[in-house]
Amino acid sequence: MKSLKQSLSFTALCSISECVQRQYHFINQRKNWTEAQRYYREKYTDLATVDNMNELKKSVNDRSVQYVWIGLQKTGHDKWQWPSGEPALYLNWATGQPEGRDDCTMMLDGQWHDLPCSDKRHFICNNNPELILIKENRTWSEALRYCRQNHVDLVSDHSEEMQRRVTNVVRWASTAAVWLGLRHSCTVGIWFWVSGETVCYQNWAPGNGTSEEDCEHTVRSGAVQSGGDQRWISRPETDKLNFICRRNLE
C-alpha cells in the first residue's frame, strides 16, 4: 500500500464584508478527475477552487509531483466553472491553453492546462473554512450578536493551533485590531472566553490582559492585532472593529 502524504496550506477569499480562510489539501495519490472529486467530497469538501496561486503552489510538498488536478471543469458552451458552481473569475492558463479538446484542468508549474478527465494525476482540494473575518466595524456586543445569529460564535483563540488559524485570517482586516470572543469580568477580575473555554493559552501584548482593568468607565473586551506580532490587546467594548466568527461545519 502506498504511503499517504498530505500537506495543508491557507489563503483567503474576501468580499467587501466577509473574508473566509481557504484551506488547500494535497494528497499524494493518483486518480482520474472524477475519482479525485469523489474522494474529496467524502473526506473534505471538493476539488480546489482557486483564487490565488501562491498558497496553492505551497500546498504541493512533493517536488517530484508535476501534474495536479484542480476543480476547474468545462461545462456547456465552452464555459469553465468550479465544483461549487462559482464562475471562473480568476484564470491562470498557460500560453496556448486551454486547447479546447479536453474538459478538466490540471496545474503544471503553477499554470493551468486542460487535460482528459480520465488521466490519473495527483490532486488538491478545499477544506471547509472554520473561521470567517467580518469586515464590518461593530462594537464587541454587536459583533457577538452577529456571529451568534449568522454563524456560531465569536472565535475563542484558546490554543496555539487556533492562533495560527486566526493569524491566517486577521491579516486581511481593515482595522488595526479585530474582536475575539474574549471578555473581562469586573465582578471576579478575570478574562474569559464566551464559548466557555478557560483562558489557559496566553498571547497578550505587553501591558495588556491584567486582572486590574479600569471598570469604572467601560467594560473591556479582547481583540487581536491585525499587524505586527498579532498579539491580544484590551480595548473598550464600545470600539468599532472587524471581528472573527467561528462557523458551523456540519
Please report, in tens digits, the pLDDT of each residue of the chain (250 residues total).
333 445 555 555 555 566 665 667 787 889 999 999 888 776 656 788 787 677 677 777 677 788 899 999 998 777 888 876 667 878 899 999 999 889 999 999 889 999 999 999 998 877 656 788 898 999 999 999 999 998 899 999 988 888 888 887 888 899 999 999 999 988 888 899 998 887 889 999 999 988 777 777 778 999 999 999 999 999 999 999 999 998 775 5
**CATH code at 6-127:** 3.10.100.10
Strand partners, 229: none
Residue 7 phi/psi, 5-degree rounding, is -130, 160
Are the folds of 6-127 and 131-246 the same?
Answer: yes
Cα distances from 146 to residues 173, 186, 193, in angstroms, run: 17, 24, 17
Q: Domain ranges in the chain?
A: 6-127, 131-246
The pTM of this model reads 0.60
Are the C-beta atoms of residues 139 and 37 closer than 8 Å to each other? no
pLDDT for residue 206: 94
CA angle in degrees (0–180, nearest 5) for 111-117-121: 60
Place domain 131-246 in its CATH homologous superfamily.
Answer: Mannose-Binding Protein A, subunit A (3.10.100.10)
Are the C-beta atoms of residues 27 and 122 closer than 8 Å to each other? yes
